[in-house]
């Protein structure tokens, strides 16, 4: 069907001492191959749970998660992940941190080839010359760049980004948004981004999915049919302002707040 990800009618509850705790309810999301899906929703609604279901780290009570035409029934090596707190290993250099997924997914790949691949990505995100530094020697934004390289190095089917830019200052964040567009242009990938930043969702997303409050269901889907790489100025144009207003209203509904 051309979709890389198909989340169909996914319902899930955590089992807790006080009984089932419903988190997702009849959730539906389709992500075409090569496209970028941004997901926004109230805090605690089930966004990170969704990422774990896609990665095959958990399985839904009801419904199905399809990845590349296969039902997800076990953990997926073909998923790259990056989080708000880049979990880089301090005892490894930046280069060796980025090479790590290749050691796991492609153990027979010659070391020189792994290294060349990691260096290529690091150069793409502007980290040439920092390959031999340790994570603590880099700024937060640089660590997040390295973390993106690590998520992409093994050419995963999909890269899942769970609020990766949330802890960065506004200017660093905007730099990284632009880097995402540059990366996509050089090396197309499919992405699911969890964010609480509506501007980020509109700037990066080909579609923006608004989840309802918990248990989260697909409340609203917005297509953003603007080819990349997108200029940051795009966010100040009337069409973007209109999109942001619509999303803000949807988030208020998701939060159960009255809409004026
Ligand atoms: N392993 C778990 N067991 C029980 N409850 C959980 C577990 N993981 C998350 N939750 C609860 O499920 C809800 C959704 O969590 P999460 O998916 O992390 O939300 P989000 O990422 O949208 O903030 C939250 O209320 C959270 O406390
Ligand atoms: Mg979360």
Q: What is the pLDDT of residues 75-127, one digit of tens each?
A: 887 888 887 788 899 999 999 999 999 998 999 999 999 999 999 999 999 99
Residue 1 has pLDDT above 60, yes or no: no
Q: Which ligand is nearest to the CA of 40?
A: 1
Distance of alpha carbon 53 from alpha carbon 155, whole angstroms: 20
87 in Cβ contact with 97 (< 8 Å): no
pLDDT over 80 (residue 177): yes
Cα(241) to centroid of ligand 2, in Å? 26
Name the residue of 12, 15, 21 to mutate for ligand 1: max ligand atoms within 8 A of Cβ. 21
Q: What is the pLDDT of residue 87?
A: 86
What is the distance in A from the centroid of ligand 1 to the CA of 109? 38
pLDDT at 135: 96
- Ligand 1 near 48 CB (within 6 A): yes
Across 238-249, average pLDDT? 97
Q: Where are the alpha helices (DSSP H) in the chain?
A: 47-54, 94-105, 111-124, 140-152, 170-186, 198-204, 238-254
For residue 195, how far is its CA from the centre of ligand 2 (angstroms)?
A: 9
First to last CA, the chain: 40
Q: Which CATH number fits domain 3-254: 3.30.450.20, 3.40.50.300, 3.40.640.10, 1.10.490.10?
A: 3.40.50.300
- Domain residue spans in the chain? 3-254
Q: How close is the Cα of 44 to the center of ligand 1, in Å?
A: 6
35-46 mean pLDDT: 96
CA distance 188 to 138: 27
**Residue 256, exposed/middle/buried by CB under 10 A (0-12, 13-18, 19+)?**
exposed
User: Cβ(150)–Cβ(82) under 8 Å?
Assistant: yes
Split at pLDDT 50, 70, 90, the class of 257 is confident
Over residues 164-190, mean pLDDT: 92
pLDDT value, residue 260: 60
């Amino acid at each position: 069907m051309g979709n890389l990800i198909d989340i169909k009618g996914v319902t899930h509850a955590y089992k807790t001492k006080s009984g089932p705790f419903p988190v997702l309810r009849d959730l539906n999301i389709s992500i075409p191959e090569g496209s970028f899906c941004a997901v926004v929703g109230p805090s605690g609604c089930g966004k990170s749970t969704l990422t774990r279901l896609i990665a095959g780290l958990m399985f839904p009570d009801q419904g199905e998660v399809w990845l590349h035409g296969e039902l997800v029934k076990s953990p997926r090596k073909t998923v790259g992940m990056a989080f708000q707190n880049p979990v880089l290993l301090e005892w490894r250099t930046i280069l060796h941190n980025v090479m790590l997924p290749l050691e796991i997914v492609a153990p027979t790949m010659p070391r020189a080839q792994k290294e060349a691949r990691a260096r290529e990505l690091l150069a793409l995100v502007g980290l040439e010359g920092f390959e031999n530094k340790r994570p603590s020697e880099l700024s937060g934004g640089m660590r997040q760049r390295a973390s993106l390289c690590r998520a992409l190095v093994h050419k995963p089917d999909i890269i899942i980004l769970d609020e990766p830019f949330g802890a960065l200052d506004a200017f660093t964040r905007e730099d990284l948004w632009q880097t995402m567009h540059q990366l996509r242009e050089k090396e197309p990938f499919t992405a699911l981004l969890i964010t609480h930043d509506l501007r980020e969702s509109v700037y990066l997303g080909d579609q923006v999915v608004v989840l309802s409050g918990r248990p989260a269901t697909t409340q609203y889907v917005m297509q953003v049919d603007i080819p990349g790489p997108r200029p940051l100025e795009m966010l100040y144009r009337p069409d973007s302002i209109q999109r942001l207003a619509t999303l803000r209203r949807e988030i208020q509904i998701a939060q159960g707040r009255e809409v004026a």
